[in-house]
Amino acid sequence: MGTWDIGPFDNDTAADFSYTVDEAPEDQRAGVLLTAFHEVTGVGDEYLDADQAVEAIAAAALVAAQCPGGDPVTSSYGPKQPIPPLPDALRPAAVEALDRVLTEPSELLELWEESDGEEWKAGVLRLRAVLAGGAAQEQAGEQA
């Protein structure tokens, strides 16, 4: 995997994932993101492959970009096509996937820990916080 920085789209696998998102019909892009989350959470306690983790992080960044406090995806390696408004229901799935990426056994976590990846981990945790904030707001709205 070619990695050049710590951002969600700063590696070859995420750039390829962006192409997959772009190639999906607009009404199916949310499903592409949800599939990326389910592929990560579906491994359960088994070893999580780095490529699956990278795709889930990229997908989470796209969801977080539409959340209050989320940063827009401005990387030239991100999707070129506009992302339609995404359902709020993707947020909890994204949080669950990010939690799994940061839980051993996770190849991506191991790779970053071998190279002093605290800044990378902090970035993933920031994404998670934005997504969890949106999920918490959604739940509060349902309870009201």
* Residue for token pair 């960044």: 61
Using the predicted structure, report yes or no on whether residue 92 has a pLDDT greater than 80: yes
Question: Where do the DSSP E strands lie in the chain?
Answer: none
Distance (Å, whole) CA 36 – CA 52: 7
Q: Which amino acid is at 62?
A: L
Do residues 127 and 64 touch, judged by C-beta distance below 8 A? yes
Q: How confident is the model at residue 2 (pLDDT cuts 50, 70, 90)?
A: confident
The whole-number pLDDT of residue 88 equals: 94
pLDDT in tens, 112-126: 999 889 999 999 999
pLDDT in tens, 53-89: 999 999 999 999 999 999 999 999 999 999 999 999 9
Distance (Å, whole) CA 119 – CA 69: 19
Residues 6+ apart with CB under 8 A from 83: 21, 29, 62, 65, 66
Return the higher-pLDDT residue of 99 and 3. Answer: 99
Return the higher-pLDDT residue of 134 and 97. Answer: 97
